Structure 1
Amino acid sequence: MKMDFQWKWIGAACVLALFAGTDAGAQEASVFIGNTNPVTDALGRNFPGSWSSPSSECARVEIRKAGPGGLIVAPDSETGEGSPLNELVRVSRIGMNVEPPDEHLGKFMEEFTDRPALAGTTNFVRVFDRSDPAAAIYYADTAPFQDVPSDQWDFTPYLYVEFGALKLVSTGAPDVDSDGDGIPDAMEGDMGLDAGNPDTDGDGYDDWFEAHYDDYLLAGEPDRPLEVQITAPADLAADPHIVSWWTIPVPGMTYWLDYRSPWVDGVEYTNIWSGTFTDTYLEIDVEDWVQTDDPKGFFRVRIPYSRP
């Protein structure tokens, strides 16, 4: 009997040790929550971030609990504070745990070292375009999400989330673009632009284009327009026939030169030349595209670009 008791006691001790080890491992389990696609503004610019320390220029990130049924309530229209139904779990920032130079890529990665604390909860992530929610113009939320079952933790060290469309803090609804220039009204107001005029300064470049290249162009003040000059010889059958224009101060900009005959109604412009140059002045010989017996026609210069 004594021997049986000892064996039973040793067996029980082994079982207890096994369970104790499992609990300890669970307590040490961690998970990273972050986004793979960058969060950007209407101009396609990544939200600002910092890796080393919080900054007043960083976009604020909040991890919150979803309400009953995955309920997500819009932030307060004046303070930007979240609803009591969406308890705040963690405050983070764009650039968190994203090492240089990638901290400016509109991403974050927040670590939770006590993974069991997330188990059984439904959460979502909210990002503001500024560090202070009360000063923010836009925010975006992810869909509600839950952690994977604990038996998959070893194989799932990351939980990736994606932000939805930007919304106005003031209304909780998407912004509008009244003039169709690609910049929403609230952003234009913040930039000092006219939300009812796609070309606020009237220089021929729309506000989105100038704001996108704001290192070289001024969205609120006229820049040099693309004015085509045509040089033709006194003898119309002679050479050269030159189309020239001053370029804009954006390095590596691509230009398209189009031509249209004046003799056929309804004929569209045809692209006859394209190139990428940093020169301040371009001259293109267009002899091959005009009629030597009566060299007339229409030329135009375009800058191709696409909005996000």
Structure 2
Amino acid sequence: MRDAPSLSVWGLSVDADLMYRCMLMFGSQTSRQLERGLGLSRHRVARGLDELHAAGAVDRRPTHWAPVEPDGLISSLRRQRRSRHSAPIRDALPQPVPLDDGVRHLPSRALTRARLAELVGAVRHEHLAMQPERAYDAESARPAVPMDRALLTRGVRMRVLGAQPADGGDPLAAYGRQAEDLTPDYREAPEVPVKLIVMDRRIAFLPVSPDDLDRGYLEITQEAVVSAFVALFERRWEAAETRQEQPMPRISLTARERTLLGLLAQGYTDAGAADTMRISRRTVSNTLRYLMDRLGVDNRFQLGLAIGSLGVVTSTGPAPAGEEA
């Protein structure tokens, strides 16, 4: 097979990339052949072909689609990217101002957004972000949706550390993110020290003034400085709460359950607790199993930790013989 460029790197969908590779391998195809050969729906094939045609990756013939040779396609994609990104940067005045080796000032939000869009296609591995905002503004949130989609579709790992509640739903759903879209890993922190973006641990962006984003951002490529920002992110990330973390459920215990747990906490065996409470060993086992199910734990050690954290065992004396819950 002729060497096929990864069209996902250039912003095309996975479906479009797959169809292009298929045509390079097997030659010109009809829409129906692509549907059958790749197991894609008619809608997905049509959308992918539209992408490929717009990118200049295929030629439309009367009865089929023919792939453009990879070398010519890459040259065309490069020209499109230069044309697409040079105009916003030229129009966003003033121009970037070099400050020192590895640091420059992007003096407006528009210029910063254009620069980020330019770099999205070059990110290969990881995108980190700190977001101290309690609520997003539309000017920042809307451009973030297609950027996130492009990165996540290519398999770039995205981690976001934010101040918004981790269980509050997707904050970008109101700005164009779809339910079927991939989403970044998110953790919540009570305080996020700075607004920050780090791409592939090589380039960092942070605002010149946290209180006035219209003053633009610093773009930093100094290795030592970027590494320090990454280390800050990792420390905060490890200390933050994930969306999946849930508080231990609150439960109320019966008199029998409290007595049993109190005896076991004093070191009684199941048999000793059963004899003291005048119940069967099976009742002891069933009671503990029931408590583990209610608290969502898997063994007695975890049960002890859960009960201890809830502080619900206050009575350690044995119940009267035959006491019922």
Which one has a larger percent helix, Structure 1 or Structure 2?
2
| TM-score range for the pair, normalised by the shorter chain length | under 0.3
Q: What's the TM-score once normalised by structure 1's chain length? A: 0.26
Which one has a larger percent strand, Structure 1 or Structure 2?
1
Q: What's the TM-score once normalised by structure 2's chain length? A: 0.25
